[in-house]
């Protein structure tokens, strides 16, 4: 890849990362509205919302400390970092050394750490149990995610996601022959992402009954600029996570391994929207699970990862 294409690719990635995420939210909302026979808001409403929040005055609880006040920015930075380290757009990241899967997982951990602390910081009832549920969810999800990615890493003999998902026959000839494994890893990651992104059936992002919420309960105290940053961070995270599982699905298609970058880029964006649609359909068709039934849902994600693990151990 020449330097010029490199720059172009970087700028494209940056633009996608900056602009695409709210659109995903819009897609979900629009689809859901359509499924409910409603017209729904404009497609670009999320962008307007973000701008509106930015312009609004900010109310901060007097109980909070610097932890709360720095969380939104810290999380955004973390997720941006993740977005540039992860090959979620089929585009190899700039720091291939740093696109390590464990680093990514722990960066997500960092974001979660800050979110949870910020939720506890205000001393509100809802923030507290939101935080409690968030860490519970995380510990259920994390082994599945790590196991799926580590299985791929095990076959690829490297823990760098950039190398694992590089569509390079030189880097990982064995992975090329294992579309099933990619599919399993992809679905495992996707199911985990659903939980991680606080979508149905694990969490209801639209409810206003605080007792049932996880993510919304945590960010209840955010307003104005903080809320804008938090919302944006959340959708960016959604893009990255769905992109990552989408990449796994794409790798199972043998043709794409030999396709050129543009095609792959387009396919990546397409699969993200496809997955978004799946989420929207799920939200329309499935009811929210009881809190205590959530482990059952997540066990499917872990199950996929375990199958992936079995293949990884077998094929080597």
Partner 1 sequence: MQDPGSPLAATLYLAANAFWIAGILIALPPRTGAGHKFFASLLATGSLFLIASLVLAWPTGFVWTAPQPIFLGMAPVELKLDALTTPFLLILALLSFAVAIFSPGYLDHLKDRVDTRLYWCCTTLFVFSMAQVITSANGLTFLVFWEMMSLSSVALVMAEPIRHRAQRAALIYLGATRFATALIAGSFIWLSSASSAAHSWRFSDWDMSVHSYVPALLLFLGLCIKAGIWPFHIWLPYAHPEAPAPVSALMSGVMVKVAIYAMLRFFFFLPVYSSVIAYTAIALGVISSVWGILFALMEHDLKRLLAYSTVENVGLIVSAIGLAMLGRISGQIYLTELALAAALLHCVNHGCFKGLLFLGAGSVDSGAHTRDLGYLGGLAKNMPWTMALFFIGCASIAALPPFNGFASKWLLYQSYLNLAFSSDHILQRSLGLIVIGIFSLVGALSLACFTKAFGIAFLGRPRSDQALKAKECSEGMKQAQLLLALCCLALSFSASATVLLFQPVLKLLLKPIYTAGPIFSIPMTTLFVIGCATTLLIYILFNSTRAHVREYNTWDCGYGPLPARAEETGTSFSHPIGIIFGTLLQYRTITQIGGRDRRHFPEHIAVEVYMFPALEAILYKPGIAAIQSLSGALVKMQTANIHIHLLYVFVAMIVLVCVGIYL
Q: Which of residues 96-125 bind partner 1 (CB under 8 A)?
A: 97-98, 100, 102-103, 105-107, 109-110, 112-113, 116-117, 120-125
Q: How far apart are CB 174 and partner 1 at their closest, in Å?
A: 10
Give dist(CA 314, CA 112) in Å, integer. 34
Two tokens, residue 149: 């990615």
Q: Which of 150, 181, 194, 269 contacts partner 1 by CB under 8 A?
A: 150
In the bound state with partner 1, the residue whose beta carbon lies nearer, of 164 and 269, is 164
Site string for partner 1, 48-67 (x = CB under 8 A): ------xxxxxxxxxx-x-x
Sign of CA dihedral 118, 123, 124, 127: positive
Name which of residues 246 to 305 contact partner 1 (CB under 8 A): 291-292, 295, 305
Q: How far apart are CB 213 and partner 1 at their closest, in Å?
A: 13
Two tokens, residue 171: 């880097």
Q: Does 182 sit near partner 1 (CB under 8 A)?
A: no
Give dist(CA 203, CA 212) in Å, integer. 7
User: Are 242 and 193 in contact, with CB atoms under 8 Å apart?
Assistant: yes
Q: How far apart are CB 173 and partner 1 at their closest, in Å?
A: 14
Q: How far apart are CB 101 and partner 1 at their closest, in Å?
A: 9
Name which of residues 224 to 243 contact partner 1 (CB under 8 A): 224-225, 229
User: Are 84 and 99 in contact, with CB atoms under 8 Å apart?
Assistant: no
Give dist(CA 245, CA 183) in Å, integer. 9
| Number of other CB atoms surrounding residue 287 within 10 Å | 9
Query: If we measure between CA atoms, which residue out of 182, 175, 186 comes closest to residue 252?
Result: 182
Q: How many CA atoms lie within 13 A of 287 on its CB side?
A: 5
Q: Which of 10, 40, 47, 132 contacts partner 1 by CB under 8 A?
A: 132
Q: Which of 1, 18, 135, 262 contacts partner 1 by CB under 8 A?
A: 135
Give buried/exposed letters for 77-106 (b at 16+ CB in 10 A, else e).
ebbbbbbbbbbbbbbbbeebebbbbebbee
Q: How far apart are CB 28 and partner 1 at their closest, in Å?
A: 26
Give dist(CA 105, CA 199) in Å, integer. 19
In the bound state with partner 1, the residue whose beta carbon lies nearer, of 239 and 294, is 294
Q: How far apart are CB 22 and partner 1 at their closest, in Å?
A: 17
Q: Which bin fits 310, alpha (ψ -120 to 50), beta or left (φ > 0)?
A: alpha
Name which of residues 67 to 96 contact partner 1 (CB under 8 A): 67, 73-74, 76-78, 80-81, 95
3-state secondary structure of 182: helix
In the bound state with partner 1, the residue whose beta carbon lies nearer, of 7 and 102, is 102
Q: Whats the size of the chain, residue-wise?
A: 316
Q: Which of 87, 92, 127, 243 contacts partner 1 by CB under 8 A?
A: 127
In the bound state with partner 1, the residue whose beta carbon lies nearer, of 98 and 282, is 98
Give dist(CA 58, CA 127) in Å, integer. 18
> What is the total count of residues that contact partner 1 (CB under 8 A)?
80
In the bound state with partner 1, the residue whose beta carbon lies nearer, of 44 and 102, is 102
Q: How far apart are CB 102 and partner 1 at their closest, in Å?
A: 5
In the bound state with partner 1, the residue whose beta carbon lies nearer, of 179 and 224, is 224
Q: How far apart are CB 56 and partner 1 at their closest, in Å?
A: 8
């Amino acid at each position: 890849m020449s330097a010029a294409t490199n720059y172009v690719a970087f700028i494209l990635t940056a633009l996608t990362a900056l602009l695409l995420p709210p659109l995903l939210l819009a897609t979900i909302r629009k689809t859901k509205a359509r499924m409910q026979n409603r017209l729904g808001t404009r497609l670009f409403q999320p962008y307007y919302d973000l701008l509106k929040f930015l312009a609004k005055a900010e109310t901060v609880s007097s109980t909070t400390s610097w932890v709360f006040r720095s969380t939104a920015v810290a999380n955004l930075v973390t997720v941006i970092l993740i977005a540039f380290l992860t090959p979620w757009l089929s585009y190899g990241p700039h720091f291939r050394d740093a696109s390590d899967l464990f680093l990514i997982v722990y960066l997500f951990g960092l974001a979660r750490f800050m979110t949870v602390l910020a939720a506890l910081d205000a001393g509100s009832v809802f923030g507290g149990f939101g935080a409690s549920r968030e860490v519970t969810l995380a510990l259920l999800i994390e082994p599945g995610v790590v196991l799926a990615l580590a299985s791929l890493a095990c076959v690829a003999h490297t823990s760098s996601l950039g190398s694992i998902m590089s569509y390079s026959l030189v880097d990982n000839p064995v992975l090329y022959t294992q579309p099933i494994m990619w599919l399993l890893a992809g679905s495992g990651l996707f199911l985990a992402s659903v939980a991680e992104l606080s979508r149905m059936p694990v969490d209801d992002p639209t409810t206003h009954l605080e007792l049932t919420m996880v993510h919304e309960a945590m960010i209840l105290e955010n307003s104005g600029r903080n809320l804008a940053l938090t919302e944006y961070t959340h959708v960016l995270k959604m893009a990255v996570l769905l992109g990552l599982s989408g990449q796994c699905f794409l790798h199972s298609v043998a043709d794409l391994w030999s396709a050129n970058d543009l095609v792959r880029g387009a396919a990546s964006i397409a699969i993200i929207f496809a997955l978004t649609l799946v989420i929207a359909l799920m939200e329309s068709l499935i009811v929210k699970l009881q809190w205590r039934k959530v482990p059952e849902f997540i066990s499917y994600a872990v199950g996929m990862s375990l199958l992936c693990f079995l293949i990884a151990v077998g094929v080597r």
